[in-house]
Amino acid sequence: MRLNILDLLLPRETKFYTYLAEQVDTLIAGCKVFMELLTNLEQLSEPVIKEKLTAIKECELKADMIERRIIDELHKTFITPIDREDIHLMTINIDKSLDILNSISRKFEIYRIRKLPPNVCKLAGVIFEISGELKGLIASLKRKEKVDEIVQKMHGLENKADDIFHMGMAELFSGDYSPIDVIKFKEVYEHLENIVDSIDFIGKLVRGIMVKLG
């Protein structure tokens, strides 16, 4: 880990790393429930489905609270460990990911979706995986080491998600699905891709932060 003389002369408030890690843990928890929901959707009873949807909503609400805490602390803190604008971008994109996850989860209830194309479940798996890499990224940013390695993994998962998305869309428009199902699942695929893109954006942002830190 590189020693920055400014860190000795001007101690920086490092609590933001803890807050961001807590927010990412909440994202991971939501992604895990979402993946379990999709993987077992056809076998789950209605009460269990509602229970999992509620759990995802609770994760979204918790992430909102953490986001507000981070923004409040940014206003109060004189010296932050990294640029306050970067902290703000990170927290709003983590929160955005959970917002989208909760939004698409609600659609499963509204549209009464109980059977899924296989590629939807594969995308959910990638989302869970890339959210796990994000946790490691926050820890590496705090240590200022091995960031590029994790960013590359995240970008690889984003590429994998793109491939699954395109395969899913091709299958969707193959003629095997009804027009109503095409409309429903097109929205699902687009929302899931947006989650991956939002998380991958944080990886690119952190890579830029490391460039600024030198």
Tell me yes or no: is domain 13-213 CATH 1.50.10.100: no
Contacts of 81 (CB under 8 A, 6+ apart): 12, 13, 14, 16, 17, 142
**What is the pLDDT tens value at each position of the chain, 214 positions in all?**
444 544 443 345 678 999 999 999 999 999 999 999 999 999 999 999 999 999 999 999 999 999 999 999 999 888 888 999 999 999 999 999 999 999 999 999 899 999 999 999 999 999 999 999 999 999 999 988 899 999 999 999 999 999 999 999 999 999 999 999 999 999 999 999 999 999 999 999 999 999 888 6
Predicted confidence at residue 77, as pLDDT, reads 85
Predicted confidence at residue 10, as pLDDT, reads 39
From residue 125, alpha-carbon distances to 12, 102, 119, 132, 156 in Å are: 37, 16, 10, 11, 14
Query: How far is it, in rounded angstroms, from Cα 147 to Cα 20?
Result: 16
Predicted TM-score (pTM) of this structure:
0.91
Nearest-CA neighbor of 27 among 120, 89, 93, 87?
93
Predicted confidence at residue 12, as pLDDT, reads 54
